[in-house]
Amino acid sequence: MSAGYRQQPNSARKDGKRVAGKQVFPPPGSGGSDPVMKERDLNFIPESVGGKEPQPAGSHIHDRIRTGTVIGKPLPLVDSNAKVTGQAWYGDDVRLANESIGKILRSPHHYAKIISIDTSKVEALPGVIAVATGADSPHSFGVLPVTKDEHAMAVEKVRHMGDLVACVSAVDEATAIEALGLFEIEWELLEPVFDPKKGLEDHDDPIHWRGKYHLAKTNVQKRVFQEFGDRSLVENPFSSSHGKWTMAGVHHGFTEPHAVVAHWDPNGRLQLYTPQQVPHYTHRALSTVLDVPMHQINVIRTFVGGGFGGKSDPFPHEMCAAILARKSGRPVRITFDREEVYWINRGRHPSNIEVKMTADDEGRISGFDIDALIDGGGFASFGHVTSYYNGVLATAPYELGSFHYTGARVWTNKPASGAMRGHGAVNTRCAVEVGLDEMAEEMNVDPIDLRLANLLPPHSRTITGFRITSNGMREALERVREGSNWDEKFRKLPLGKGIGIGCGFFISGSGLPIHWDPNRFPHATVHIQVDMDGGVTVHTGAADIGQGSTTAVAQVVSEVLALPIEMIHVRSHESDTSPVDLGSYSSRVTFMNANAAIRAALDIREKLLDAAWDILGYHPNTLIINDRRIYYKHDPAIGVSYLQALHKAQEDKGALISSGSYRSPPMGGVHKGAAAGLAPAYSFSAYVAEVDVDIELGLIKCTNVWAAHDCGKALNPLAVKGQIIGSCHMGLGQVLSEKMVYGRTGHLQNANLLEYKIPSIHEMPHVEPIIVESSDPEGPFGAKEAGEGPLLPILPAVVNAVYDAIGIRYNDLPLTPDIIFKGVEKKRKKLKLEEATELPSPRFTHGPKSIELQKSLMKRSQEHKKRDLARQKTEDTSPYVNGVLFGFDPNIPLEDQVEGWRMATEPDPEQLAELGLAGRAWLKKEQRQMESEK
């Protein structure tokens, strides 16, 4: 039966040539850059399955498929060669024969009705090929199905300066630009709204009209109310803090401006080339706008020169290119200037955030009270979700006595805000972490100890019902404390030098897809195909935007099949060949796609092992799959090469094909908005930042950052470190210098990269990335996200460090030198000092009470550390919900234990008067309510 053959080790000829029939052990599989098989890398195989890798966070379900090939090893991204040699093809690199150049006519007005558009002069210009206006695109679209409020070009009115009015394609750019000047448009100017606070009030012409769901006649797009927990705990607090923040809008600042090429092929199918984070949603929107079934559209994602959320909406210019190409029958290419990039925006919302928090005499956080008014600009974009994220993503990693959130997103006549790295969580996180520091200051305790004594454990539930699985928060805090030598520095540094802490918490993949789907359609699907050459082709729709998702998918397949990574070829560019994937947003790609890829690869692996079983006669349970060879566990000399097994498996059926998918498990509460912020796993992070403040000039220089991020398992430590360092850079921009400046006329004044101040290399601190691995039970090989979460803690860490340096709390972002200077002058005058350099440095002023509290916090965190370890290793599997710290029984619903335990998503009438700024949106009624009351 056994057709296997025994190979003889050490039978090489002295001259290195192979002896016929006596192959050198181990034999080659199918090549790759190194034809000689490698030994198993036991350092990267977990102890539980015979390797050497220690597993402090417990074993993982994927442990037994680890082969020691690439997981956990620092690996350059698989597409880096294309990028460093300039061969990567970005949006504007696509050149089709006979192309024409498209240009977009943009609104010169902030808010105006279009009475008429006369295009006759444009059409008469020699060289003009096609002209389109809003009349050619009556269908609306939007990334979220609940808020489809965009058109390819303005249909009735323009909503911000730079809004799309019409477009034209011509033989060259100069002609197209000339043509733009020939449109004759009659406008009726409307009263614009710039201040989000004004957006809460009634307006004669609201920017959008939502019919019976419209909130009075305001410009409120979305309002949220959430109240959870025991609100009686916040009365008579032992300590409290209150911060009123103004945060400027920031832009992603990606390198590649938007560009698109549209072409209707000879069969009448649309081929659209675009650097998109979410090609699938573009695909859907194109279908709607163009009135063409999805299967007649092929969306080709080019290389993406940075996205960060700024390329995750279906964009009107993509529709424009398709419309112009359809009209003219010629390919159309549209490339943005940097200014146009700012006009399409989708950056972080300018926000007014108010955070009140309270703590009791045991240093427990009895309440968070958050109010966030966010400025959405002219369109909804992802705003519906952002409105929730600003509150709900602040509910962890701490255990809270109660949580109260009011949020509102308003339309204003500015470029639309949208999703940006750390979507919705960044601004509130900064306010919350700074608030915690303020409370620690008031209680005279160490802010790290305060945090350590209030953490939710692994395998628990937040106050709003998020399922926390793995949780490396405690380890992250401990490691940055140690790494930064915190205890020697905090409140001990001289004036102008300071150190600060900040934590982060972020979703690892949105639990619900944007297009809600009752048919349990998977979030991610991966197809694998292995043909006789042995190369593995992986088809995925995962959009690599530089974060390395292609590499991650290649890595997990490489790991499961024990093949060198150069044998794995990922094809992810075309919607024609790649299975549906929801795209690169909410840090879902590696988590969901790698899980899907593992499933697909396991299928192939099983077929290979079965074939080896056929050949060798040993059951797959006793076979080990290694670098291009499968062999018997107890005698490695008995085995077959990968190619032999593959060819056996291909008998009578040709290429091996498999499909794997991932869908997040059902979870979360049932209240309105419960789905917002749900994720199959969450990442945690803690940063310590050290700053030098030039107290006379107000300049801040961040010198060092110790950045610990819990990514579950670093599939590729090099990529994780890159994400951490990159996040620091991006976050520093928001905290120190970046802002979108709208002047007194409402015009965006710095729509260019000279005046929009992204930090240069000189502003970069030394960043010490610290990877925390908590091994998430649901993540691929235990991995969680590392793309967005690492951005969150840098903002509060820097703001807290500035306080430590000069003793002044700032509630404005960015902390430009003039803001710092103003604060210093105010304090200097208040203290009647001659020079700013005489300001006092903040110091601990311990009294007996605070020393006792500090001790009790440290004791509690020691106890919790033991608790967390047992839960992480699933030695303790008892249920744990937010509230146990306050003495509640996790086995009984909290509302049954406490009278007045709230779970409300609408305010009580008597609460209305006390709500914060954004909460004022609840004073208004929807049109349908107003009608029914009439």
Binding residues for another protein, rule: CB under 8 A, are 106, 108-109, 161-162, 173-174, 177, 337, 339, 696-698, 737, 743, 745, 747, 749-751, 754-755, 757, 759-763, 816-818, 821-822, 825
CB of 112 to another protein, least distance (A): 11
User: Which alpha helices (H) appear in 200-315, and where do they start and end?
Assistant: 279-290
What is the side-by-side strand order in the sheet with 497-507?
Answer: 497-507, 682-694, 699-710, 766-772
Query: Under a CB-based contact definition with an 8 Å cutoff, are residues 566 and 534 in contact?
Result: no
CB of 319 to another protein, least distance (A): 21
Query: In b/e form, how buried is each residue of 5-21, taking b as 16+ CB within 10 angstroms?
Result: eebeeeeeeeeeeeeee
> What is the three-class DSSP state of 299?
strand
CB of 190 to another protein, least distance (A): 15
CB of 791 to another protein, least distance (A): 20
From first CA to last CA, the distance across the chain in angstroms is: 87
CB of 189 to another protein, least distance (A): 12
Query: Token pair of 23, please?
Result: 């192959």
CB of 272 to another protein, least distance (A): 24
Query: In b/e form, how buried is each residue of 615-648, taking b as 16+ CB within 10 angstroms?
Result: bbebebeebbbbbbbbbbeeebebbbbbbbbbeb
CB of 507 to another protein, least distance (A): 32
Nearest CB to another protein, comparing residues 108 and 840:
108
CA–CA dist 811, 452 (Å, integer) = 25
CB of 342 to another protein, least distance (A): 10
C-alpha closest to that of 361 among 442, 431, 433: 442
User: Which alpha helices (H) appear in 733-774, and where do they start and end?
Assistant: none
Query: Token pair of 911, please?
Result: 């609460």
List the beta strands (DSSP E) in 318-421. Answer: 332-335, 351-359, 365-377, 402-411
CB of 698 to another protein, least distance (A): 8
Nearest CB to another protein, comparing residues 100 and 395:
100
Nearest CB to another protein, comparing residues 340 and 441:
340
Query: Under a CB-based contact definition with an 8 Å cutoff, are residues 565 and 683 in contact?
Result: no
What one-character-per-residue DSSP string does 686-733 give? EEEEEEEEETTTTEEEEEEEEEEEE-SS-SSHHHHHHHHHHHHHHHHI
Rounded to an integer, what is the distance from CA 234 to the centroid of its chain?
33
Phi and psi, residue 619, nearest 5°: -65, 140
Query: Token pair of 331, please?
Result: 């390919």
CA–CA dist 791, 275 (Å, integer) = 23
Nearest CB to another protein, comparing residues 272 and 795:
795
> What is the three-class DSSP state of 241?
strand
CB of 751 to another protein, least distance (A): 7
Query: Token pair of 745, please?
Result: 């006329």
Nearest CB to another protein, comparing residues 333 and 459:
333
C-alpha closest to that of 260 among 335, 192, 200: 335
- What Å distances lie between residue 708 and 675, 764, 771, CA to CA? 28, 17, 6
Q: What is the largest CA-CA distance in the chain?
A: 100
Nearest CB to another protein, comparing residues 309 and 698:
698
Helix or strand holding residue 481 (H, E): helix 473-483
CB of 173 to another protein, least distance (A): 5
CB of 804 to another protein, least distance (A): 23
Nearest CB to another protein, comparing residues 107 and 454:
107
CB of 280 to another protein, least distance (A): 32
CA–CA dist 608, 604 (Å, integer) = 6
C-alpha closest to that of 640 among 610, 685, 662: 610
> What is the three-class DSSP state of 222?
strand
CB of 416 to another protein, least distance (A): 18
CB of 554 to another protein, least distance (A): 35
CA–CA dist 64, 60 (Å, integer) = 8
Q: Which residues lie closer than 8 Å to 887 by C-beta, 6 or more apart?
A: none
Nearest CB to another protein, comparing residues 158 and 611:
158
Beta strands 536-540 and 568-571 are parallel
Query: Token pair of 749, please?
Result: 């004044």
